[in-house]
Amino acid sequence: MIKPVTERIILSLALQLNWSFNQIDINNAFLYGDLEEFVYIVQPPGFETSDSNTVCKLNKALYGLKQAPRSWFDKLSTTLISLGLHPTKSDTSLFLHFHNNITLFVLIYVDNILITGNSNTAIQRLIYSLSRHFALKDLGTLHYFLGVEATWTLDGGLHLSQTKYIQDLLHKTNMLSPPSLNQHPCSPLLV
């Protein structure tokens, strides 16, 4: 997963250089991971054979499997390397491409990917190449990444906020509106 400091540095650099940002989301990312070790599971409901001692050997990773994140990242990084990108030593979730005056930065957070660079054509070519390997959604220009809303200003700047993230948390915990005294279990004692 991309380090927050790396994300801020790349966003700042790209804004200074007036580069565009594109977001993609890989559908069912963990299912692309190939397992290196043997993993067996009990027969899933509806698939049982007459022999109750039979188990299933997994060839691909499944969500909830502890090996799934690593096998997905291995698959993605191998694909990115085959497309001419290289991971950095300081943050292995940041991939770079420098070739023929084209510069690309690829930031990875599990299945959410942010791409920026000095060539919109190269960015679109990379997205197309990734779509040949994985089912993905092209989310277009940067608008929401890792709980941070990005709003473009009229002068070409980028305003970052976590308003949506905070509202989602408040909604999830039923704290959007202040509770009345009748609803609150810890209402003050009247003297």
- Domain of 25 in residue numbering reads as 4-34+55-144
With a CB cutoff of 8 Å and minimum separation 6, the contacts of 188 are 181
Which SS3 state, helix, strand or coil, does residue 59 take?
coil
Query: What's the pTM?
Result: 0.75
Backbone angles phi, psi at 86, to 5 degrees: -135, 135
Q: Indicate whether 95 and 157 sit together in one domain.
A: no
Give the model confidence (pLDDT) of 4-34 as tens digits. Answer: 788 888 888 888 898 888 999 999 888 888 8
Q: Indicate whether 119 and 172 sit together in one domain.
A: no
Sort strands 112-117 and 20-26 into parallel, antiparallel or unpaired.
antiparallel
Q: Please give the single-letter amino acid code of residue 34.
A: D
Residue 187 lies in a domain: no
Q: Indicate whether 92 and 113 sit together in one domain.
A: yes
Helix (H), strand (E) at residue 57? strand 55-57
Give the model confidence (pLDDT) of 157-186 as tens digits. Answer: 776 777 777 888 888 888 876 655 455 555
Give the model confidence (pLDDT) of 46-98 as tens digits. Answer: 776 777 677 888 888 877 788 888 888 999 999 999 999 999 999 999 999 99
* pLDDT for the residue numbered 94: 94
Q: Indicate whether 89 and 121 sit together in one domain.
A: yes
- Structural domain count, the chain: 2
Q: Indicate whether 136 and 151 sit together in one domain.
A: no
